[in-house]
Amino acid sequence: MIVNEQIAIDHGLKKDEYKKICDLLKRIPNITELGIFSAMWNEHCSYKSSRLHLKNLPTKGKNVIQGPGENAGVVDIGDDDAIVFKIESHNHPSFIEPYQGAATGVGGIMRDVFTMGARPIANLNSIHFGSPQHKKTKNLLRGVVHGIGGYGNCMGVPTIAGQTSFDESYNGNILVNAMTLGLVKKNKIFYSKAAGLEKPVIYVGSKTGRDGIHGASMASAIFDDKIEEKKPTVQVGDPFTEKLLLEACLELMAGDSIIAIQDMGAAGLTSSSIEMASKGKLGIEINLNKVPCRETNMTPYEIMLSESQERMLIILENGKENLAKKIFDKWNLDFAVIGKTTNNKKIELFFDKKKVADIPIDTLVENSPMYDRKWKKCKLPKKIKIKKEDFKNLKIINILNKILSSPNICSKEWIWQQYDHTVMGDTIQKPGGDSGVVRVHGTNKAVAASVDSSAVYCWAHPLSGGKQIVCESWRNLIAVGAKPIAITNCLNFGSPENEENMGEFVECVQGLGEASSYLDFPVVSGNVSFYNQTKNIGIKPTPAIGGVGLIKDYKKMVTMSLKQSDNILLVVGKTEGDLNQSLFLRDILNEKNGPPPEINLFNEKNNGETILKLIDKKLIKSSHDVSLGGIIIALSKMCIKGKKGATLKKPNYLMNEFEYLFSEDQGRYIIEIEKINLKNVTEILEKNSVHYDELGTVNENELIINNKSKVTIDELIKSHTNWLNNYMSK
Amino acid sequence: MNSSVITFPGSNCDRDMDVALKKFGFKNKMVWHNDVELPKSELVVLPGGFSYGDYLRCGSMASKSRIMKSVINFAKSGGKIMGICNGFQILVETGLLPGVLLRNKYLEFICKNVFVKVNNKNNPYFKDIKKDTLELHIAHNEGNYFCSKEQIKEINNNNQIALYYSDKDGKINENTNPNGSIKNIAGVFNKEKNVLGMMPHPERMIDPDLSGEDGSIFFKNLINNLK
């Protein structure tokens, strides 16, 4: 087949990109080469629309061992231990085939982590679906949850936290973001940078099949009515093989045979071989006849573009082939020497003794396109003034029950009960809390992780929204007593070719960068997912942030369940009573406009650090950050978790109680303390200039807001747990 | 006290079991599925996981693996064998234990704490346990125990039912049945009571910071009884 412009366009390349390829090669590429270019130059692999903006993110810090650019980020947690972590999207495949899409998303991210030498110790996920009324939502939700569970459970890695939301903007384009944390010794971290000439290039893992060909290009395309036809581009996962691959790789990594290692993820053998060579400023030569294939008569084009799962590429020290092969034989995995490193900085492929591709690596990587896309700035919307009469006839308890049972607030136990969250025997905080927490096996340390996103805030004002999620991630870690270390981000947006969507991306990233830089909470890894849109409607901008923090002494970890009657409840942080973009305003008064809550980074940092001091002094019995739904929802969840009630004090604030209880002002926590410690705690808060209100006291079984408004905890539990169970069993 | 934990390809609770056994005083060895002989042991444990991926009936591939010949001989000579979760599935596939484990009634994986009522304390696994119910943890997709009417009669007559899913007071009914198991059965013995299979994971409940501590009661008791 002779390549022409139309074939290039069918591969997702633009006209001028095709021209650039011909110019760089000084000839017309053959079909295999075109396939390789299209895989390397698509949005998913090249970050061509996002690179320019991502480079402004803060990526350094005193605990950062490895920032973006590797398979995953790495942070130092002391005593020679390090945590490797990353979040990644698998949105498009999950919409087309929810079980396999989600499963291979989880498999892919775990591979990114153990490629670096780390044993995965925790999984998290952030999943977003269309309106519950939409005809596809239920099946997509079920398929995705089964897929995540199917893969993670089989691997024996606990899924410790997550986030699920419903919004009609995901009707035609769901989001599935998976995150993994792994544990590694600092001197045993493996990288993907090739080094040395004539070193053997090894292929290990599953055989290569025809599944997933062009997966990365599909992930960079806009959905239309024919999306079902793309099913063959979704990869099929085999968690059992991945479990074997994990054990075999870790066994090989215990020695000193490996120079570089890279998993075959998006764009399979193409991107893994090219990235390793590119990082090492070397060339690579591969004999495609040596690649273990699952199907007969696979062409070089298919072999290079297959996204079959559970495969790795390794560059070994000379002479270590037999030793390595023994290990992979033991685990019943394919092992093949398929090529070698060279010094000509080219990728050269051979098949049936003919050279089938010959491309200078810099044309694929450094010279890949980079775009400064046009983008539109988003103005801060005007504040919505709520009239007094709007509050009339509203009954607090009714509203409370309604919000607690709403799809985005209700208990997600139906979901996380399907994930093994206790395997490995170190999960000390299960899903449903502010963060999931796992012990660092055999030590007194624990690692906390949380995944967050606030699409509604980002949609209302991307700059504020971007800041807010970083703050929320930070708060979720603080609330369990963890010192925040670093974040990973999964940036889910519409088309970068649309100025508004691009503007959302640019400003969210800007907000995200500002907050993470101020909080010293750097970005160490991440992923961008554009083209989350169906026809010309993009999703709400949904950057998801995965935060990781350290608890030095896990005995000091705090949970959100109320502990003891008569203990005192404080709201830490100032409540302004601004209802704009709150759940109350959007869902109860049906007002969707207005700006998201303001972010004050100074208060955020100061309040958080002070809470950590209090936790360190063991003065806090339970704590929870105040987020969606405001104080009353946060408090209700603490009641539900602890099966205790609370009696609120008579208000002494200058706003009405709806504003006080339902506003979503940022930088706030509810903490439970013992009476005898009240003075001590308030002194510390005052000394650190942290605002607090006394909210009330803990009681046995009733939430008492005032004489007229009270509700039993049993009723709150019902409201909170019934919705999702009923929805899924119908 | 020597114990062995068998690792099959796809086992994933083998380390957790190793940690638990060692914590309560066992000298534990890990045994690879492809080995021929068992090391000298007073207890052999088949751990949880997804042996060989469980793409066929759960446990069926593992029941045919090389080490299982020795394991079966060990059982026949009266050796103590305990199968947890996937280990239970493997034991029923070998025929050492009666019945089968089907997919959970609601076709979903379940991970949560449950209470089990100890039905038979006249054996080395549960002898001297003071509590009548234990809080343990389940995490499985195929834990729905089933057997024929005749078999139920037989295992009942032989006192082979080890554990029932119950509430914390030991009440056994539909509401306390997490997976559809016949008669709420959570664990069974062979006739001789030297082989035990159960779906719940005691090894995940060995520390107050984890899901609970009733697993500690189980292991402490077990090592004492085997002495």
Residue A700: is it exposed, middle or buried by C-beta count within 10 angstroms (0-12/13-18/19+)? Answer: exposed
Contacts A–B by Cβ distance under 8 A: 84
What is the sign, positive or negative, of the torsion defined by CA atoms of A579, A583, A584, A590? positive
Per-residue pLDDT, B72: 96
| Active-site amino acid positions of A | 44, 90
| Active-site amino acid positions of B | 85, 201, 203
| pLDDT class of A218 with cuts at 50, 70, 90 | low
Per-residue pLDDT, B211: 84
Note the pLDDT tens digit of each residue in A462-504: 999 999 999 999 999 999 999 999 999 999 999 999 999 999 9
Tokens of B198: 């159960």
Per-residue pLDDT, A553: 97
pLDDT at A223 over 70: no
Per-residue pLDDT, A528: 95
Sheet containing B2-7: order of strands: B27-32, B2-7, B43-46, B80-84, B195-198, B185-189, B161-166, B110-118, B133-140
pLDDT at A231 over 80: no
Nearest to A150 by CA among A125, A133, A130, A118: A125
Residue B184: is it exposed, middle or buried by C-beta count within 10 angstroms (0-12/13-18/19+)? Answer: buried
Cα→Cα distances A198→A195, A286, A342, Å? 10, 12, 6
State the CB neighbour count (10 A cutoff) for residue A174. Answer: 25
* Contact between residue B10 and residue B54 where contact means Cβ atoms under 8 Å apart: yes
Per-residue pLDDT, A166: 97
Measured between CA atoms, the residue of chain A closest to residue B110 is A418
DSSP structure class, residue B31: E
| Cα separation, A73 vs A82, whole angstroms | 10
Name every chain A residue with its beta carbon within 8 A of the beta carbon of B12. Answer: 154-156, 243, 423
Measured between CA atoms, the residue of chain A closest to residue B11 is A156
Name every chain B residue with its beta carbon within 8 A of the beta carbon of A326. Answer: none
Per-chain mean pLDDT for chain A: 94
pLDDT at A707 over 90: no
Q: In this complex, is the C-beta atom of A420 within 8 Å of any C-beta atom belonging to chain B?
A: yes
| pLDDT class of B14 with cuts at 50, 70, 90 | very high
| pLDDT class of A224 with cuts at 50, 70, 90 | low
Q: Which of B12, B108, B204 sits opposite A418 (nearest CB)?
A: B108
Least confident of A376-380, A384-388, B17-21, B126-130: A384-388
Note the pLDDT tens digit of each residue in A536-570: 888 999 999 999 999 999 999 999 999 999 999 99
Note the pLDDT tens digit of each residue in A69-80: 999 999 999 999
Please name the residues in contact with A237: beta carbons below 8 A apart, sequence gap of 6 or more.
Answer: A100, A103, A104, A106, A107, A147, A150, A151, A309, A310
Chain B: residues touching A (Cβ < 8 Å): 9-10, 12-13, 15-16, 19-20, 48-50, 52-55, 108-112, 137, 139, 141, 201, 203-204, 206-207, 209-211
Note the pLDDT tens digit of each residue in B208-227: 999 889 999 999 999 999 98
- The CATH class of B2-226 is alpha beta
Per-residue pLDDT, A216: 56
| pLDDT class of A405 with cuts at 50, 70, 90 | very high
Percent share of chain A, pLDDT over 70:
97
What is the sign, positive or negative, of the torsion defined by CA atoms of A246, B24, B139, A433? negative
Longest dimension (CA), chain A: 87
pLDDT at B198 over 90: yes
pLDDT at A388 over 90: no
Task: Quickly tell me which residue has 């001028």 as its tokens.
Answer: A16
Q: In this complex, is the C-beta atom of A429 within 8 Å of any C-beta atom belonging to chain B?
A: no
Note the pLDDT tens digit of each residue in B137-188: 999 999 999 999 999 999 999 999 999 999 999 999 999 999 999 999 999 9
Longest dimension (CA), chain B: 45
Measured between CA atoms, the residue of chain B closest to residue A555 is B209
Nearest to A375 by CA among A512, A530, A506: A506
| Cα separation, B64 vs B80, whole angstroms | 20
Nearest to A458 by CA among A398, A508, A407, A383: A508
Note the pLDDT tens digit of each residue in A174-197: 999 999 999 999 999 999 999 999
Per-residue pLDDT, A653: 76
| Cα separation, A188 vs A180, whole angstroms | 18
Q: Map out the domains of chain B as residue ranges.
A: 2-226
